[in-house]
Structures are given as C-alpha cells and as structure tokens.
Amino acid sequence: MICKELKKIKNVIEIQHLHTCLLFFFFFIFKRISLNLYNSNSIELSGGNNISPQKPSLRTLAGKKIEEWEKYVIRSPIGKRILAAFYRSSLYSFFSMKINEFRDYKLIEEIKQYSLPKHIAIIMDGNRRFANELGLSWEAGHIFGKEKIEEVLDWCFDLGVHVLTIYAFSTENFKRSEEEVKILMMLFKEELDQAKGDSRIHKNKVRIRILGHLESLPKDIQQSAQFIMDMTKTYKTYHLNIALAYGGREEIIQAIQHMARDIKKGKLKVKDISQKTVSSYLYTKGLPDPDLILRTSGEERISNFLLWQLAYSELYFSDVYWPALQKRDFLQAIRTYQHRKRRFGK
C-alpha cells in the first residue's frame, strides 16, 4: 500500500531532485511519528508529568540533524508539494491511524494502573450543532447521537466501568418544537425496543433503568421502558441508566412528596430523615453517586442533572460535540479524573 501511495505523490511533484527530497521527507515523517509516540503534548503518557529526562525521546537521540532536514523540506518548493500531496493521501491517514491506535493503547495501559470511576454520568450535548456544522439536518444529529450511546457502552465494557448514566431528555426539552420532540420520542422508542434483543445487554448482564417522570412520556414509550426494566431487573454486573423526562429539581421535589406521604402514614419519622433516607427516595436508589460527570460540546453547566447525587462528583467538560466523541476523549476524561485528589471535605 505504501508503494502505491508514493507513486501517487510522485505524480504530483517535479521529478527533479525527487530522490533527495524524498530522503529528507522520510526523515521529517520519522520525526513527526517519533514526537507523536514519545513526546505528545495532547495526551500525557507519564501520569500527568512530562517525559522523564532519564528516558530520552527519539528526537533527542537523533540530534539536531532532523531539525535541519525538516526546515529544508518545509522551505523548499518541491518539499512543500511533497508534503501537500502526502497530507492528502491515504498514506497519511494510515500513519495517523496507527499513531492514534498506539496512543490509545498507551493511555489505556496507564488508566488501568489506577482506580477507575465506578459510575460515570454523561450530559450528551451538541447533536444539533454537530449536524449543522456538517450541513446535515438536526434529525441526523440526533441519530448520530443515539448511535454514540452504543459506542460508549462498549467502552465501559472494555474498561470495566460498571455504572453509566446518560442524560437523554430533560423536562425542559419538552419546550422544543413539536416536530423535534416527536422525532426524539421515536428514536427513544426505537432504542428501547432494540435493547430487548441486544446480545450485549444480556451477555454483560446490564440492568437498564429509566430515570425521570415517566408519566409525562407517550404511552408506548412508557410500556417499552417498563418492559426493558422488568426484563433486566435481575442483572447486576453493569447498570445503564437513561434519564428521560428527567429534571434534578423535580426528582428532589418528588422525593420530598413521597417522604411526606410516608410520614403521614407513620412509615417514616421526621427525626429519622438523613442523607441516606433522601437518597433512598430518588430515582437512583441503590446506585452509587457518580464519580465523574462528563459534559460534551464545550458548555460548562450542569443543566438540572443529578443535583443531589453530584455533591462530590468530579466534573469534566469536553469541547467535542457528543456525536463526535472519540474513545480517546473518553479515556482522557477518565485519566484527568484519576489525576485529581478527591478529599470529600477532609
């Protein structure tokens, strides 16, 4: 494949000085790959610190010669044409893919050396903006967003993150256009029905819960939600919580109302109310509070999500739109969480 790509590059440059330029060009590529593998600034490979001076990178070993060759390649007209052709070729895509695979592998290796978050909650944001920037309809953005949920669930299986909560539809989202709400409800129904026969759900023993004011959802979605919850209620290995028609304030209000009823019935005494008592009346009863809350799209707010449960959660905001989230972004959020010291007020 590499030979074919080099022939394509050769066709778009002048033959004069080709071999000399290619020699410099490959030294340039060698340097770029070595820097990506051993001295990347975008992902730290040494627990948050710079690479130790006791472990020199290939850049240091090669000396200043590579710097000189790089300048030659960049400044010469033929070198510029070679680079332009290379960046448009599938050879460049191949190198990039392999470098990214290596970086992901190193990051996963590092992550597994430290404690993983038991519960990750995600505010999935940016579907419509993602679609708009690609010139697509907002419907397409939501479809891509739905498919991303399945990818993230697989990442949790790979890493051993046992509780995943996703913020799919808030109580405030009902204020959107009737057409958009209708499309979203159709997608939710489709996803819930597909989950019934999803082999991954049964193989990994995933308990699915729908968190929210289910009575405000269409009847068919209520039925599908109840069916999948009943079907998976005995599973205990993984937990997937889907927040639908959910609002953090509404959840707390509902918990207070239920406690008031139990007090009136004599089932609960006011003096016995504690944090654990309140937690037992929430939608997330029996689940650990989220260790890490990830929000995509660059927005930095909580948007009425898990207001009681996030008291000591670590917050991470990613600039990437939800449908464009890559495994590397997910891993980086977890690695950042691992770098933080959780004191819980101590």
In the listed set 69, 102, 135, which residue is the last one of a domain according to the structure?
102
Model confidence at 46: pLDDT above 90: no
Domain at 215, CATH number: 3.40.1180.10
Q: Which of 41, 103, 30, 102 is nearest to 63 (CA)?
A: 30
Query: Do residues 140 and 244 share a domain?
Result: yes
Q: Which pLDDT tens digit goes with each residue over 47-101?
A: 333 333 444 444 444 445 555 555 555 566 766 676 667 667 777 677 777 777 7
Q: Which pLDDT tens digit goes with each residue over 200-229?
A: 999 999 999 999 999 999 999 999 999 999
Q: Is the dihedral of CA 124, 128, 129, 130 positive or negative?
A: positive
Token couple for 23: 């020699």
> How far is 216 from 280, CA to CA, in rounded Å?
22
Beta bridge partners of 238: 206
Does the residue 207 lie in any domain?
Answer: yes
Query: Do residues 236 and 267 share a domain?
Result: yes
CA distances from 318 to 153, 234, 300, 336 (A): 18, 34, 9, 11
Query: Do residues 143 and 90 share a domain?
Result: no
Does the residue 267 lie in any domain?
Answer: yes
Does the residue 345 lie in any domain?
Answer: no
- Domain coverage including residue 89: 2-102
Judged by DSSP in three states, 160 sits in coil
Q: Which pLDDT tens digit goes with each residue over 14-32?
A: 444 444 455 555 555 555 5
Query: Do residues 153 and 266 share a domain?
Result: yes
Q: Which pLDDT tens digit goes with each residue over 147-192?
A: 999 999 999 999 999 999 999 999 999 999 999 999 999 999 999 9
Residue 329: Cβ within 10 Å count: 15
Does the residue 77 lie in any domain?
Answer: yes
Q: Is 36 a residue of the active site? A: no
Q: How many domains are there within the chain?
A: 2
Q: What is the mean pLDDT of the chain?
A: 83
Query: Do residues 98 and 191 share a domain?
Result: no
Model confidence at 235: pLDDT above 90: yes
Alpha helices for the chain (secondary structure H): 2-11, 18-38, 58-62, 65-75, 77-87, 90-111, 127-133, 138-159, 178-196, 199-203, 219-232, 248-264, 275-279, 327-339
In the listed set 60, 79, 102, which residue is the last one of a domain according to the structure?
102
Check 125, 127, 241, 291 and give the catalytic one: 125
Q: Which pLDDT tens digit goes with each residue over 127-146?
A: 999 999 999 999 999 999 99
Judged by DSSP in three states, 42 sits in coil
> How far is 191 from 146, CA to CA, in rounded Å?
8
Q: Is 304 a residue of the active site? A: no
Does the residue 149 lie in any domain?
Answer: yes
> What is the distance of C-alpha 50 from the center of its chain?
25
> How far is 89 from 84, CA to CA, in rounded Å?
9
Query: Do residues 78 and 123 share a domain?
Result: no
Judged by DSSP in three states, 237 sits in coil
Q: Which pLDDT tens digit goes with each residue over 93-125?
A: 777 777 777 888 888 889 989 999 999 999 999
Check 173, 198, 204, 304 and give the catalytic one: 173
**Count of residues making up the chain:** 346
Q: Which of 305, 283, 327 is nearest to 122 (CA)?
A: 305
Q: Which pLDDT tens digit goes with each residue over 312-345?
A: 999 999 999 999 999 999 999 999 999 998 888 7
Q: Which pLDDT tens digit goes with each residue over 247-297?
A: 999 999 999 999 999 999 999 999 999 999 999 999 999 999 999 999 999
Q: Which of 166, 191, 171 is nearest to 181 (CA)?
A: 171
In the listed set 102, 132, 167, which residue is the last one of a domain according to the structure?
102
Does the residue 155 lie in any domain?
Answer: yes
Instruction: Kindly state the greatest CA–CA separation across the chain.
Output: 93
According to the model, what pLDDT value does residue 94 have? 78
Rg (CA), the chain: 26
- Rounded to 10°, the helix 18-38/77-87 angle is 50
Token couple for 53: 């001076």
Model confidence at 302: pLDDT above 50: yes
Does the residue 109 lie in any domain?
Answer: no
> How far is 224 from 218, CA to CA, in rounded Å?
10
Element (H, E) at 45: none
Query: Do residues 247 and 208 share a domain?
Result: yes
